[in-house]
Chain A
Amino acid sequence: MQHGKYRFIVGFLAVPLALYALFVIWPFVQSIYYSLTDWTGLSPEFGFVGLANYTRMLDDEIFWKSLQHSLTFAVVLPLVTVGFALFLAFMLNVGGRRRKGAAVTGVRGSSFYKIVYFFPQVLSIVIVALLFQFAYNPNSGAINSVLKLVGLGSIQPDWLGDPNLALICVMVVLVWSTVGFFVVLFSAGMASIPRDFYEAALLDGASRFTTFFKITLPLLWDTVQSGWIYMGILALGAESFAVVQIMTVGPNGGGPDYSTIVMPLYVYQKAFRDGQAAYATTIGVALLLVTLAFAAVVMKLGRRERLEF
């Protein structure tokens, strides 16, 4: 198979590689370089300023706020989402009533539940964010009117307008829209665990609760770990940008008193609102480091011996 091989390889790789290099790799490289300059983005002239942007960043109060919020997202969102999804998936697969011959069974209608749970995943995050923005509306939104209906009319929080609640409100939306994906993912993993493992454990007197921690979780570990990383990257990246940018408008964007500002949104504001492109790429580099550190920590903490079954 040597005939014309290299010509073929070059011919097939040329277009994809050119596109990828021009629109993805090259901007990444450039942005690291720009972070060392005083480029505004508005004029083509700029000078090299060394690490000035980085020292400025360390003194920037709003940067620290955005870092803190992004880190909160990266820690809390995977924990809540993956944890809750594991719980639901376990209920779906093991919560069923006993049937003849099987030690553990899925609940009735488990495929129906999966269809429903997965739906938010196919919706645009924009639709989800806009819907919840109205649900959170303090005057006539869905949530506060439910509170009124059940007699809790005295509790009418400001939700997105309240600096203490806004961040939590945003996180709830991200959890709501992603849990279903992980339920389906973990369900598929759980369904491939041989049923006799549960049977043997239950015969030996283990409770179903124990089987979750002793059988399900260890055998599902690889999937849980990749789900964890996936969710963390999502929480640090484009999804958190969309939700925060759309839901918390505020005078500056990013909620009352920057209470919901996240790193990707701050990059966007600095570059395209304030005309500080170089400084924006500096924050972007910080975001890159956070993302890589997050992935490294999860891999390190999650390292276990791989179980074959």
Chain B
Amino acid sequence: MKTTDTPPTGDATIPAPREGRDPVIGGTAAPVKEKREGTVLNVFSHGVLIIWAIMVVMPLLWAVMTSFKTDRAIFTSPWSLPDALHFENWSRAWTQAHMSEYFLNTIVVVGGSLVGTLLFGSMAAYVLARFEFPGNRFLYFLFIGGMSFPIILALVPLFYVMQNMALLNTLHGLILVYIAYSLPFTVFFLTAFFRTLPTSVAEAAFIDGASHTRTFFQVMLPMAKPGLISVGIFNFLGQWNQYLLPTVLNTNPENKVLSQGLVQLAVSQGYKGDWSGLFAGLVMAMLPVLAAYIVFQRQVVAGLTAGAVK
């Protein structure tokens, strides 16, 4: 999975406006049929690729643009540029519409559950990958079986399990549930990863007198760092964007996380007719993810596609 790029194009230059002229420059000499086919294909591919790129970018640009407009302008001329940059939309969303609280809750929940997922996931994966004991296979399949089951089926009883344990509508309860539901993929991925690491290093540490626990934390975990980063990014995005679990298990308005908050915002601001505030909230939620994605683009892509390419 590490070789994502096609060999000839290393740079990420923007090819957009040149596509019409390219084939003329390239196709002047040699009227070979095969060459012409290549040229036609080239024009066609650029055309299709650019159209899809526009289709992806337009809705997002439209949202950014709309977040700076007045409510009147949103309804009368949806595609025109804003007459002025109405930053008050943003401050309204941040304070009055509770976006700051949603952000804080999300950071707490995702922070806690990400650490927990990586810690417990790697502990379980390490034992399952490296130790022979009766029931090893069974436990492994028990864990990875959770990947294909529809979560909604478990959510109905889970709601009452949480209620009985007084974990319903609490942030720490949500953290525990996030960890539990992230374990299947994490264990699956990290088990495969631990199997690829050489055994000799751990054995040497063990012979030198380190306990199993110490070997794990001081030798194996540092060696597993690339795997932890990939699966960490995967879990971070999954948990940051999680919607189904909090919708069912965390309905207290004060504890809402970002994804719920946005839906709440859509309902409440829609009621007040404050569409500009809503768009400001949406863009606000979008920007950190966009920034992180652009900075860590390579790792994000590797982390998210890691599970599927094996």
- Residues on A close to B: CB < 8 A? 1, 4-6, 8-9, 11-13, 15-17, 19-20, 22-28, 30-31, 34, 41, 87-88, 91-99, 102, 105-127, 130-135, 139-142, 145-146, 149, 176, 179-181, 184-185, 187-192, 202, 207-208, 223, 226-227, 230, 233, 236-238, 241-242, 245-246, 264, 267-268, 271-272, 277, 280-281, 284-285, 287-288, 291-292, 295
Contact = CB atoms under 8 A, between A and B. Distances in A.
A269 to B, nearest CB: 11
A20 B183 contact: yes
B28 interface: no
Contact of B237 (A1, A27, A122): A122
Contacts of B180: 19-20, 22-24
B309 A188 contact: yes
A88 B48 contact: yes
B213 A8 contact: yes
Main DSSP-derived SS at the A contact region: helix
A264 B77 CA distance: 37
A203 to B, nearest CB: 9
26 contacts: A13-B124, A16-B123, A25-B142, A25-B146, A27-B155, A28-B153, A30-B157, A34-B156, A88-B48, A91-B48, A98-B26, A107-B15, A107-B45, A108-B13, A112-B14, A117-B56, A124-B240, A124-B285, A140-B75, A176-B55, A185-B308, A202-B34, A238-B243, A241-B244, A268-B152, A271-B155
Given A1-B206, A30-B157, A271-B159, 11 more contacts: A8-B213, A9-B131, A16-B120, A110-B5, A115-B297, A118-B300, A189-B309, A191-B7, A236-B150, A238-B152, A287-B150
B59 interface: yes
B112 interface: no
Contacts of B57: 116
B133 to A, nearest CB: 6
B308 A145 contact: no
Given A16-B123, A291-B148, A267 B237 contact: no
Interface in B252-310: 258-259, 262-263, 266, 275, 278-279, 282, 285-286, 289-290, 292-294, 297, 300-301, 304-305, 308-310
Main DSSP-derived SS at the B contact region: helix
Nearest to B6: A106
A34 B155 CA distance: 12
Interface of B: 1, 3-15, 22-23, 26, 34-35, 37-39, 41-42, 44-46, 48-49, 52-53, 55-57, 59-60, 62-63, 66, 74-79, 120-121, 123-124, 126-127, 131, 133, 139, 142-143, 146, 148-161, 176-177, 179-181, 183-184, 187, 203, 206, 211-213, 216, 237, 240-241, 243-244, 247-248, 258-259, 262-263, 266, 275, 278-279, 282, 285-286, 289-290, 292-294, 297, 300-301, 304-305, 308-310
A16 B183 contact: yes
Contacts of A99: 8
Contacts of B15: 107-109, 112
A111 B298 CA distance: 10
A97 B1 contact: no
Given A1-B206, A117-B52, A188-B4, A27 B139 contact: no
Contacts, number: 327
Given A142-B78, A188-B305, A246-B263, A127 B157 contact: no
A159 B62 CA distance: 19
Contacts of A181: 304-305
Given A96-B42, A188-B4, A192-B3, A227 B308 contact: yes
B133 A26 contact: no
A-B residue pairs, 3 tightest by C-beta: A95-B45, A106-B6, A284-B153
A12 B123 contact: yes
Nearest to B241: A124
A128 to B, nearest CB: 8
A30 B150 CA distance: 14
Most chain B beta-carbon contacts within 10 A, residue among A119, A142, A184 = A119
Contacts of A88: 48-49, 52
B157 A111 contact: no
